[in-house]
Amino acid sequence: MQRKKIKKRQSEFNILREYKKSWEYLKDIKLFIYLITGVFLLFVLIGLFIPAPEIIYDKILDFIKDLLKQTQDMSLSQLIGFIISNNIKSTFFAIVFGIFLGIYPISTAVINGYVLGFVSLISIENGGLISLWRLFPHGIFELPAVFISMGVGLKFGTFILQKNKIKAFKEYLINSLRIFLLIVIPLLIIAGIIEGTIMRLVN
Protein backbone atom coordinates (compact mmCIF):
# COMPACT_ATOMS: atom_id res chain seq x y z
CA MET A 1 0.00 0.00 0.00
CA GLN A 2 2.82 2.36 0.90
CA ARG A 3 4.64 1.57 -2.37
CA LYS A 4 1.52 2.47 -4.35
CA LYS A 5 1.33 5.83 -2.58
CA ILE A 6 4.99 6.52 -3.37
CA LYS A 7 4.47 5.64 -7.05
CA LYS A 8 1.42 7.87 -7.20
CA ARG A 9 3.36 10.78 -5.71
CA GLN A 10 6.18 10.24 -8.20
CA SER A 11 3.69 10.21 -11.07
CA GLU A 12 2.06 13.47 -9.92
CA PHE A 13 5.48 15.04 -9.45
CA ASN A 14 6.49 14.07 -12.99
CA ILE A 15 3.36 15.64 -14.47
CA LEU A 16 4.03 18.85 -12.59
CA ARG A 17 7.65 18.80 -13.75
CA GLU A 18 6.60 18.36 -17.38
CA TYR A 19 4.09 21.17 -17.02
CA LYS A 20 6.79 23.42 -15.62
CA LYS A 21 9.06 22.56 -18.56
CA SER A 22 6.25 23.56 -20.91
CA TRP A 23 6.07 27.06 -19.44
CA GLU A 24 9.85 27.39 -19.42
CA TYR A 25 9.93 26.57 -23.15
CA LEU A 26 7.14 29.07 -23.80
CA LYS A 27 9.23 31.77 -22.15
CA ASP A 28 12.17 30.84 -24.36
CA ILE A 29 10.14 31.14 -27.58
CA LYS A 30 7.95 34.10 -26.61
CA LEU A 31 9.29 36.21 -29.50
CA PHE A 32 7.91 33.65 -31.99
CA ILE A 33 4.52 33.80 -30.28
CA TYR A 34 4.57 37.61 -30.33
CA LEU A 35 5.47 37.58 -34.03
CA ILE A 36 2.61 35.23 -34.91
CA THR A 37 0.20 37.25 -32.76
CA GLY A 38 1.27 40.44 -34.56
CA VAL A 39 0.69 38.88 -37.99
CA PHE A 40 -2.70 37.57 -36.89
CA LEU A 41 -3.85 40.93 -35.49
CA LEU A 42 -2.60 42.78 -38.58
CA PHE A 43 -4.79 40.64 -40.82
CA VAL A 44 -7.75 40.99 -38.44
CA LEU A 45 -7.49 44.74 -39.06
CA ILE A 46 -7.16 44.18 -42.81
CA GLY A 47 -10.30 42.02 -42.75
CA LEU A 48 -12.11 44.69 -40.76
CA PHE A 49 -11.18 47.78 -42.74
CA ILE A 50 -10.30 46.68 -46.27
CA PRO A 51 -13.24 45.34 -48.31
CA ALA A 52 -12.73 41.78 -49.54
CA PRO A 53 -12.80 41.09 -53.30
CA GLU A 54 -16.11 39.56 -54.36
CA ILE A 55 -14.61 36.11 -55.01
CA ILE A 56 -13.04 35.92 -51.52
CA TYR A 57 -16.19 37.40 -49.95
CA ASP A 58 -18.39 34.70 -51.52
CA LYS A 59 -16.00 31.88 -50.59
CA ILE A 60 -15.83 32.92 -46.95
CA LEU A 61 -19.61 33.24 -46.75
CA ASP A 62 -20.04 29.80 -48.36
CA PHE A 63 -17.59 28.34 -45.84
CA ILE A 64 -19.52 29.87 -42.92
CA LYS A 65 -22.86 28.65 -44.31
CA ASP A 66 -21.53 25.09 -44.77
CA LEU A 67 -20.18 25.14 -41.21
CA LEU A 68 -23.56 26.26 -39.84
CA LYS A 69 -25.34 23.52 -41.81
CA GLN A 70 -23.01 20.89 -40.38
CA THR A 71 -23.68 21.95 -36.81
CA GLN A 72 -27.35 23.05 -36.81
CA ASP A 73 -28.81 19.62 -35.91
CA MET A 74 -26.14 18.67 -33.38
CA SER A 75 -26.87 18.29 -29.68
CA LEU A 76 -24.91 20.44 -27.24
CA SER A 77 -22.43 17.66 -26.49
CA GLN A 78 -21.97 16.88 -30.20
CA LEU A 79 -21.42 20.56 -30.99
CA ILE A 80 -18.85 20.94 -28.22
CA GLY A 81 -17.07 17.78 -29.38
CA PHE A 82 -17.09 19.02 -32.99
CA ILE A 83 -15.61 22.40 -32.03
CA ILE A 84 -12.93 20.90 -29.77
CA SER A 85 -11.98 18.25 -32.35
CA ASN A 86 -11.63 20.82 -35.17
CA ASN A 87 -9.58 23.19 -33.02
CA ILE A 88 -7.28 20.41 -31.80
CA LYS A 89 -6.65 19.27 -35.39
CA SER A 90 -5.90 22.78 -36.66
CA THR A 91 -3.54 23.63 -33.80
CA PHE A 92 -1.77 20.27 -34.11
CA PHE A 93 -1.22 20.87 -37.83
CA ALA A 94 0.07 24.38 -37.08
CA ILE A 95 2.74 22.82 -34.85
CA VAL A 96 3.70 19.76 -36.91
CA PHE A 97 3.66 21.43 -40.33
CA GLY A 98 5.77 24.23 -38.91
CA ILE A 99 8.66 21.90 -39.71
CA PHE A 100 8.69 23.40 -43.23
CA LEU A 101 10.45 26.63 -42.22
CA GLY A 102 7.37 27.81 -40.33
CA ILE A 103 5.51 28.61 -43.55
CA TYR A 104 2.33 26.79 -42.51
CA PRO A 105 1.78 28.55 -39.15
CA ILE A 106 2.45 31.95 -40.73
CA SER A 107 -0.02 31.32 -43.56
CA THR A 108 -2.53 30.01 -41.01
CA ALA A 109 -2.15 33.21 -38.97
CA VAL A 110 -2.77 35.27 -42.11
CA ILE A 111 -5.87 33.33 -43.19
CA ASN A 112 -7.44 32.96 -39.73
CA GLY A 113 -6.75 36.58 -38.87
CA TYR A 114 -8.37 37.79 -42.09
CA VAL A 115 -11.41 35.53 -41.65
CA LEU A 116 -11.90 36.71 -38.05
CA GLY A 117 -11.72 40.33 -39.21
CA PHE A 118 -14.18 39.57 -42.01
CA VAL A 119 -16.65 37.81 -39.67
CA SER A 120 -16.31 40.62 -37.11
CA LEU A 121 -17.15 43.18 -39.81
CA ILE A 122 -20.27 41.28 -40.84
CA SER A 123 -21.32 40.94 -37.18
CA ILE A 124 -20.89 44.67 -36.61
CA GLU A 125 -22.82 45.54 -39.79
CA ASN A 126 -25.73 43.27 -38.83
CA GLY A 127 -25.86 43.61 -35.05
CA GLY A 128 -23.67 46.56 -34.11
CA LEU A 129 -20.46 46.58 -32.11
CA ILE A 130 -22.14 44.83 -29.18
CA SER A 131 -22.59 41.69 -31.33
CA LEU A 132 -18.88 40.95 -30.89
CA TRP A 133 -19.50 39.91 -27.28
CA ARG A 134 -20.24 36.39 -28.57
CA LEU A 135 -16.67 36.09 -29.86
CA PHE A 136 -15.11 37.29 -26.62
CA PRO A 137 -15.74 34.58 -23.96
CA HIS A 138 -14.28 31.57 -25.78
CA GLY A 139 -11.66 33.77 -27.45
CA ILE A 140 -10.06 34.33 -24.04
CA PHE A 141 -8.98 30.68 -24.11
CA GLU A 142 -8.99 29.80 -27.82
CA LEU A 143 -6.84 32.64 -29.14
CA PRO A 144 -3.95 32.09 -26.68
CA ALA A 145 -4.02 28.37 -27.60
CA VAL A 146 -3.93 29.26 -31.31
CA PHE A 147 -1.12 31.81 -30.88
CA ILE A 148 0.91 29.39 -28.77
CA SER A 149 0.54 26.52 -31.25
CA MET A 150 1.46 28.71 -34.24
CA GLY A 151 4.40 30.23 -32.36
CA VAL A 152 5.61 26.75 -31.38
CA GLY A 153 5.25 25.64 -35.00
CA LEU A 154 7.23 28.65 -36.20
CA LYS A 155 10.01 27.86 -33.72
CA PHE A 156 9.93 24.19 -34.76
CA GLY A 157 10.71 25.21 -38.34
CA THR A 158 13.96 26.87 -37.27
CA PHE A 159 15.58 23.52 -36.40
CA ILE A 160 16.96 23.49 -39.95
CA LEU A 161 19.00 26.63 -39.15
CA GLN A 162 20.74 25.05 -36.16
CA LYS A 163 24.24 23.60 -36.30
CA ASN A 164 23.17 20.21 -34.88
CA LYS A 165 19.93 19.75 -36.82
CA ILE A 166 19.03 16.28 -35.51
CA LYS A 167 19.47 17.32 -31.88
CA ALA A 168 17.49 20.53 -32.45
CA PHE A 169 14.72 18.61 -34.25
CA LYS A 170 14.31 16.17 -31.35
CA GLU A 171 14.43 18.91 -28.73
CA TYR A 172 11.90 21.13 -30.52
CA LEU A 173 9.60 18.19 -31.25
CA ILE A 174 9.50 17.00 -27.63
CA ASN A 175 8.92 20.52 -26.31
CA SER A 176 6.25 21.18 -28.94
CA LEU A 177 4.28 18.03 -28.13
CA ARG A 178 4.60 18.69 -24.41
CA ILE A 179 3.08 22.16 -24.82
CA PHE A 180 0.37 20.83 -27.12
CA LEU A 181 -0.72 18.17 -24.62
CA LEU A 182 -0.40 20.12 -21.38
CA ILE A 183 -1.30 23.69 -22.37
CA VAL A 184 -2.97 23.92 -25.79
CA ILE A 185 -5.47 21.06 -25.47
CA PRO A 186 -6.79 22.11 -22.01
CA LEU A 187 -7.31 25.68 -23.28
CA LEU A 188 -9.17 24.39 -26.36
CA ILE A 189 -11.41 22.15 -24.27
CA ILE A 190 -12.47 25.10 -22.11
CA ALA A 191 -12.95 27.30 -25.20
CA GLY A 192 -15.00 24.60 -26.96
CA ILE A 193 -17.35 24.18 -24.00
CA ILE A 194 -17.92 27.94 -23.78
CA GLU A 195 -18.36 28.41 -27.54
CA GLY A 196 -20.72 25.46 -27.97
CA THR A 197 -22.85 26.57 -25.02
CA ILE A 198 -23.09 30.16 -26.28
CA MET A 199 -24.01 28.99 -29.80
CA ARG A 200 -26.84 26.86 -28.43
CA LEU A 201 -28.12 29.59 -26.11
CA VAL A 202 -28.12 32.19 -28.89
CA ASN A 203 -29.72 29.86 -31.42
pLDDT tens, position by position, 154-203? 999 999 989 899 999 999 999 999 999 999 999 999 999 988 888 777 66
Is residue 104 one of the residues assigned to a domain? yes
Does 48 reside within a domain? Answer: yes
170 part of a folded domain: yes
Q: What is the pLDDT of residue 22?
A: 93
Query: 66-92: per-residue pLDDT in tens?
Result: 887 887 778 888 889 999 999 999 999
Is residue 128, in this structure, part of any structural domain at all?
Answer: yes
* More confidently predicted of 53 and 117: 117
Asked whether the predicted pLDDT for residue 151 surpasses 60, the reply is: yes
Does residue 2 form part of some domain?
no
Cα–Cα nearest to 117, from 192, 63, 44, 56 = 44
Whole-structure pTM over 0.75, yes or no?
Answer: yes
Within-domain flag for 4 = no
The answer to whether position 178 is within a domain reads: yes
4 alpha carbon, distance to own chain's centre: 38
Q: Which domain holds residue 163?
A: 20-202
CB atoms within 10 A of CB 137: 14
Give the residue ranges of DSSP H helices in the chain: 2-28, 30-49, 54-71, 76-96, 103-127, 136-156, 165-179, 185-202
Q: How many separate domains does the chain show?
A: 1
Does a structural domain hold residue 121? yes
